[in-house]
Amino acid sequence: MIGSGVGVAPSMGESMTTTRSALSDADVRMLVRGATEDERAAAAHKLCRRIDAGLDESEREAGAEVLRLMAADATELVRRALAVTLKSSPNLPHDVALKLAADIDTIAVPILYHSPVFDDNDLAEIVRTMGAMKQTAIAKRTTLSETVTTAIAKFGCEDAVRTACANDNAMFGEGGLKAAVDRFAESEGVTTAIAFRKMLPLSISERLVDLVSDSVRQHLVDHHSLSPQTALKIAVGAKERATVDLVDQAGRASDLAAFCTHLNKAGRLSSSLLLRAVAHGHMAFFEWSLAELSGVPHHRTWLMVHDAGALGLKAIYERAGLPQRMFQAFRVAVDTYHELQADGNLVDMGRFQEHMLQRFLTTPSPTHREDLDYLLERLDRIGRRPEEFIARNSGRAA
C-alpha cells in the first residue's frame, strides 16, 4: 500500500520517463510525494482526467500502472478521486475496477453504478458476496441483464431487489421474479415494484394478486394478463372486502335495518357475504339481512334463527332465497355461535373462528368442498394463519 509516498519514487522512475508527454513527471511526483492528502488527491484527479481523455498506445500501460498505484493508496481521498473521475470511463483497467468495487462504500458505489468495464459475471458475483449499498448501486445501473437481476433477486437485500424491480431497463426472467416474490412476499415495496413492471409473466401476475393492495391489484387487472377466473375473483373479492369493512362498522351502528336495505338495493347481500359475516360473529347483521331478503319482520326472523328448533333457520333461509347447497355452512356457523354464547366466550373472536373451523373440519360433509374452501380462504388471520390451523387439525376431519 502507498502511504505518504516516501521511498516510492524510485519505482516510478520508468513510468515518469515513459509518460512525460501526457502524464507529467510533476503530477506523478505530486501523487506519490505530495505533502498533504489534498495535494495528492488533486494530482490524482488531474492524472485521471488525462487518462480518461485517452493516451497514446505507448503510454497506456504506464497509465494503467499509475491507476493501480492510486487504487492501492492508503489515502481515501486519492482512491475516491480515482473512482469519481473514472467512474464512467472505458479506460479504467478491469482489475482496477474490481479493486475499487471491493473498497469502502463511498468509493465503490460510484464505480458500481456507472462503470462500463464490468461484465455480467462480475456484477453477479459482487451482488452475491458484498453488502447492501453495493448491491443497491448495481440495481440502479442503466441496464441490467437477466444474469445480474437473477443474482439480485436471490442474494440482494430488500432495497436492492425493490430498486432492480422498479428499474425499467432491468431484464428479469420468470425465475428471478419468482425468487423476488418468494423472498419478499411481505414487502409492499417489492411486490408493488414488480406489479408495475411493463411486462410480467402470467404466473407472477397471478401470484401478486393475493399480495398487493387493492389499487395495485387493479393495476394488474388493467395492464397485465390474468386468467378470467382470477380477474373475476379480484372483482368479487374487492367488492366483498369493501362490504365487510362496512359490516364491521355496522356492528356498531344503530340502524342495521337501513344498512341492510341499502346493501340489498345495491345487489350486495350475497350468500357469500352473509357467510363471511356470520363466520366473523356478526350475528345481528346476519339476522337483519335474512329479514331484509325474506320480507319477514326482524323479531320473527330472530326467533326462527335462535329459538325455533332445527327447522326455524332452514325455513327463514329458504324464504330469503339463499342457495340450498350453502345451508349447512350457515347451520354450522349459527350452532357454533350458540355454543360459544352458552359458554360466555363470544367476546373471544379468535376462539369463535377457530372453533367454527374445527366444526367444519370434524363434521362429516358439512357442505360442498368449494364452499368450505371459500370460507377458509376468507377468514381473517387471527393469532395464526388459517392454513396452519388446518394443518394442525386436518387429522381430525371425518
Phi, psi (degrees; rounded to nearest 5) at 254: -95, -15
Query: Which of 225 and 91 is assigned the larger pLDDT?
Result: 91
Note down the domain range covering 326.
230-396
C-alpha–C-alpha distance, residues 215 and 213, integer Å: 6
Compute how many other C-beta atoms are within 10 angstroms of the C-beta atom of residue 324: 9
| Band (1; pLDDT cuts 50, 70, 90) | very low
Do 235 and 113 sit in the same domain of this protein? Answer: no
- Classified as helix, coil or strand, 2 is strand
**Which H or E element spans position 8?**
none
On the CB side of 322, how many CA atoms lie within 13 Å of its CA? 30
pLDDT averaged over every residue in the chain: 79
CB 360, CB 278: distance < 8 Å: no
Same domain, 244 and 389: yes
Instruction: Place 128 in a pLDDT band, splitting at 50, 70 and 90.
Output: very high
Whether the per-residue pLDDT at 199 is higher than 60: the answer is yes
| Count of residues making up the chain | 398
In-domain check, residue 2: yes
Percentage of the chain lying above the pLDDT 90 cut:
39
Q: Is residue 15 part of a domain?
A: yes
Neighbours of 41 (CB within 10 A): 22
**Of 118, 142, 162, the domain-final residue:** 118
Give the tens place of pLDDT for each residue, 71-84: 998 889 999 999 99
Task: Confirm if 354 and 322 have CB atoms less than 8 A apart.
Answer: no
How many domains does the chain fold into?
A: 2
Which residue has 516510478 as its cell numbers?
A: 12
pLDDT at residue 347 in the model: 58
Instruction: Name the more confident of 362 and 199.
Output: 199
CB 357 within 8 A of CB 376: yes
Average pLDDT over residues 190-214: 87
Asked if the structure places residue 134 within a domain, the reply is: no
Looking at 118, 141, 160, which one is the last position of a domain? Answer: 118
Cα separation of 184 and 161, whole Å?
Answer: 9
Asked whether residue 386 is domain-assigned, the answer is: yes
Q: Establish if 79 belongs to a structural domain.
A: yes
**Bridge partner residues of 382 (DSSP):** 384
Lowest mean pLDDT among 12-26, 215-229, 330-344, 346-360: 12-26
Report the C-alpha gap between 331 and 317 in whole angstroms. 10
Structure confidence at residue 162 (pLDDT)? 97
Contact between 140 and 149 (Cβ < 8 Å): no
Helix (H, G, I), strand (E, B) or coil at 271: helix
Does residue 24 sit within a domain?
yes
Q: What is the pLDDT of residue 46?
A: 87
Domain end among 63, 97, 118: 118
